[in-house]
Amino acid sequence: MSNQPRPGALLALALVTAAALALQILLTRIFSSVLAYHFSFLAISLSLLGTGAGALAVYIWPHWFAKESNRELGKWSAWFALSLALLPLLLVQLDLAMAGKMDSGFIFRFAVACALASIPPFLSGVVVALAITRFSSSIGIVYAADLIGAGIGALLAVPVLWLGPAPNLVVGLALVAAAAAILYSQDGVVRRFAGAAAVTSIALLILGSTTSILYLDPGHSGRQGEPVGEHWTPLTRSFGYASERSKDFAFLLYDRAYAPVPIVRGDQLPTWEILRTGPQSIGYELTGPGHALIIGGGGGRDIYTALSLGQTVDVIELNEGIRMVVDGDLGHLSGRPYSRANVSTVIGDGRSALASRDTLYDQIHLGFTDTLSANAAQGFALAENNLYTVEAFQEYLDHLKPKGILNVSRLYELVGTEALRVAVLAQASLEARGIDNPRDHMVVIKGRDFLGPPSGTVLLRLEPYTAEELALIERLAKARGQGVVYGPRGGTEDEWKELEAKGVEVFCNSFELNVCPPTDDKPFFFNMSRLRSFWSPRENSTIYGANPFKMLMLTAFILAVLSLIAFVAPLWMAPGASRPPIASLGYFWFIGLGFLLVEITLIQRLVLFLGYPTYALSVVLFTLLIFSGVGSAMTTSLDARSAMRAALGTVVLLIVASAFFLQPLLRQLIWLPLAGRVVVSILLVAPIATCLGMAMPLGLRRMEALHPLALPYAWGVNGIASVLASVLGVVVAMIFGFTVAGLLAAACYVGAWADATWGRWPSSTAS
């Protein structure tokens, strides 16, 4: 029988969901610090699956949870606390380094890691499902507490990552869950259990701070020696290594990527010969001494290349952890490039920081720059990269002085033909500005970088190169690289000759890999896979073993199968009297898919605007969840049927409007200071979030009136749909773009609106 929740119970529920949401973010950091992006993505999806599975367990085996409600809520919260305390201790025992391949041993260990990571979400799912079932008469307030707690967890999880290693922080979450258990129940046994979980957490925190018991081996320390420094940040886990094998370079490693750090001796600046940046240096010979912007300073090679050639340098570095390692831990070796005279450094997103300033540069340089936050090289394809889009190149060109040069370097082949795609992107960007013969404005120089494989450097400008300048470039390209492979005088290798002959549009559509110019709507620069050649051996030319796009599609297939099983199995396993018709669950499937798709697209739209990926994550999740909670609380006294139709109809209109008009609006407001952009983001997200939050409690009120025993099932179906949406949104965005992903979310809510309009309703649902 339902009853009214005490304020303490609502606070306890908020604490549980705050811990559960924070756990998802921390697990992403844990997995991405030792694995490629696609594996951490799968781990988060499985975490969401665990939450849904917990709700389904409450539905299938109600006799497990049939005791006094507050005691049950306290008991399962205490189990949640204990699982949080023990999870990192178990995860760090698993060697998750792939060592370049996915053998059976790695697959087994990763499966164990995913199973372990799903246990705390399962237990939190049990707690939430129990709360919704026990307090169904106050579903609007209960769901509001759930959402507001999750919103607080989203807000705090990202800045908390500055405080220490993610495994230690997960252990600390156990104290939050233990407090929830004590708030839920007055039972002495439950409170002692919660206290034991809290003591375990404190003991492990002490041991984790004084020993290596919670240390997560990054998988590369054995090859590089002992790290000089290590920093966990919301973006990456960064290390500094002083290698004994190199007299010219130390090494910076961030998650699974790395960069060489030049060793500077005395006051003498290293030159391009020492730095091995010959092709990149040629642009500076054309412009002469001046003012350069470097987007992504990395280990400092590009900074020193510019300084040694007479430039005053501005640096925009996304990752504070990189600067902490290079200028701090390795500062005695590196010469602190970010802090040198004639160098000005800001931390932020390259495009957003550039858009907010009026400075014109002689050269803008991107040297192997990536907006990496949770990926290894072979996972790049699954991460959007807003630095390499047509709109981004327009921004760079707008900030060049007359005859200023955009200098971009990528490897010839890593996760695809990267240098070729940059050249196509450069040519398309010039065509977008009305330039009739874009090839006269660009050259591509082949070289062999310190990183090993051949590289391509594109030198692009708004004015055509003169014959004298081309002669100089060709001479320097032979001396400092392997010559010019594409430019006003044609291409010298097969793919470059083909680009010359066909032009951008025909070439990019016919080439075996997808080298078409990325846009802000589909900014997956590193994904060069095509569906039509999915089974081709060269479908994604990568020097690594696992194809990221195929891994994504495999992930989607696995999650689709698991979701189908989770959706259908309760219909056979639950008592017959409690089984609802499948049609009655479609509504919860629609809103589960739709909510996550909206979340994914809004985060993407606001990454550029807010200037920092973690800001977008925090602001969008916080606003969505908090204002969804406000919307949920507003439903308490509303007529369910009319309110549901109005809320869902409004959601559809707002999603469609945001799909077409949000990005242009944000471009017009990007000049605002950060605080202003945060306020604008909240104001834009809040209306849609409020309407989204009304859909679930109104649907649960209808379900309770029709099938009162099936409330946990409905909640679980919503969670399972969210799991599928988490990967479906990325698949759709990569193939069709984020606008289509947003319209798919709108279609989901159209389906929910149709169900609310023509589906079955009880005779009275007003209360």
Residue pair 47/205 in contact (Cβ under 8 Å)? The answer is no
3-state secondary structure of 174: helix
Name the DSSP class of 518: P
CATH of domain 262-523: 3.40.50.150
The 10s digit of each residue's pLDDT in 202-215 is 999 999 999 999 99
CATH of domain 547-767: 1.20.1250.20
Lowest mean pLDDT among 346-350, 373-377, 645-649: 373-377
Percent of the chain at pLDDT > 70 equals 90
The 10s digit of each residue's pLDDT in 561-610 is 878 887 778 877 777 666 788 888 899 999 999 999 999 899 888 887 88
Quote the strand ranges of 441-598, DSSP E: 442-448, 454-460, 484-487, 490-491
Whole-number Å distance between alpha carbons of 44 and 57: 20
pLDDT at residue 146 greater than cutoff 80: yes
All CATH 1.20.1250.20 domain ranges in the chain, comma separated = 547-767
pLDDT at residue 244 greater than cutoff 70: no
445 strand-pairing partners: 457, 484
All CATH 3.40.50.150 domain ranges in the chain, comma separated = 262-523
Give the mean pLDDT of the chain: 87
Distances 718 to 136, 589, 618, 764 between C-alpha atoms, Å: 16, 5, 23, 24
pLDDT bucket at 535, cuts 50 / 70 / 90: low
pLDDT at residue 376 greater than cutoff 50: no
Whole-number Å distance between alpha carbons of 278 and 452: 14
pLDDT at residue 540 greater than cutoff 50: no
pLDDT at residue 269 greater than cutoff 80: yes
pLDDT at residue 37 greater than cutoff 80: no
CATH of domain 1-215: 1.20.1250
Whole-number Å distance between alpha carbons of 391 and 432: 10
pLDDT at 543: 45
Distances 647 to 638, 652, 691 between C-alpha atoms, Å: 11, 9, 5
Residues in the chain, how many?
Answer: 767
Whole-number Å distance between alpha carbons of 114 and 562: 14
Maximum separation of any 2 CA atoms in the chain, in Å: 87
